[in-house]
């Protein structure tokens, strides 16, 4: 049996190094602005068929973690901000709740029946207070390599979903930070 030469060992090592380097690529983040604008465009397309009026205010809520709807993240707040911005660019009247002196936090309780009732009641109160026709809400679910996002535009008077859009984002370095 022949012993491998130094050149053969070096080439084998380089080949192995190149092969393993190609397998451990970092996942590239998606352009979050483009993804949220695409989602907004899809919501607007379906909402126009369901009587969404540009002159009637829309409230925008932070997107929440599907596993704990009382928690959000930088990602959830950024998605809401960008989608609200896109609604404004399309001529819709978006109410900025963060400018109010007392903060608004819509949440349900941990009780099974009371949670949905409280959320619906608080949502109706907020919409009445601002004469809002609809509210943009959303959730995200974290996976090891992707985040699944659902955005919904809900008519406030009867909780009818005017539009819904699902999309996913690869979990790259920036997205991972935004989820913390």
**pLDDT by position in tens, the chain (length 180):** 566 666 654 555 545 545 544 555 678 888 999 999 999 999 998 877 777 888 889 999 889 999 988 888 999 999 999 999 999 999 999 987 765 434 444 444 444 333 333 345 566 676 677 788 899 999 999 998 999 999 999 988 888 898 999 999 999 999 999 998
Read off the pTM. 0.75
Is 135 in contact with 127 (CB distance < 8 Å)? yes
Identify any residues that bridge with 68 across adjacent strands, giving them in sequence order: 65
Helices (H), 28-69: 32-49
Helix (H, G, I), strand (E, B), or coil: what is residue 77?
Answer: helix
Domains in the chain: ranges and CATH: 27-179 (3.40.50.10610)
């Amino acid at each position: 049996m022949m012993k491998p030469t130094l050149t053969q060992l070096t080439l084998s090592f380089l080949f192995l190094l190149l092969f393993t380097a190609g397998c451990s690529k970092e996942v590239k983040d998606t352009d979050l602005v483009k993804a949220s604008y695409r989602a907004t465009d899809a919501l607007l397309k379906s909402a126009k068929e369901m009587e969404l009026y540009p002159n009637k205010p829309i409230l925008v809520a932070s997107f929440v973690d599907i596993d704990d709807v009382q928690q959000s993240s930088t990602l959830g707040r950024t998605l809401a901000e960008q989608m609200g911005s896109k609604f404004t660019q399309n001529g819709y009247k978006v109410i900025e709740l963060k400018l109010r002196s007392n903060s608004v936090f819509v949440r349900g309780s941990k009780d099974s029946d009371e949670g949905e009732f409280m959320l619906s009641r608080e949502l109706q109160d907020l919409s009445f207070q601002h004469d809002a026709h609809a509210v943009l809400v959303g959730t995200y679910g974290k996976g090891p390599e992707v985040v699944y996002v659902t955005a919904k535009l809900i008519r406030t008077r009867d909780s009818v979903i005017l539009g819904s859009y699902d999309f996913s984002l690869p979990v790259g370095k920036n997205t991972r930070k935004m989820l913390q």
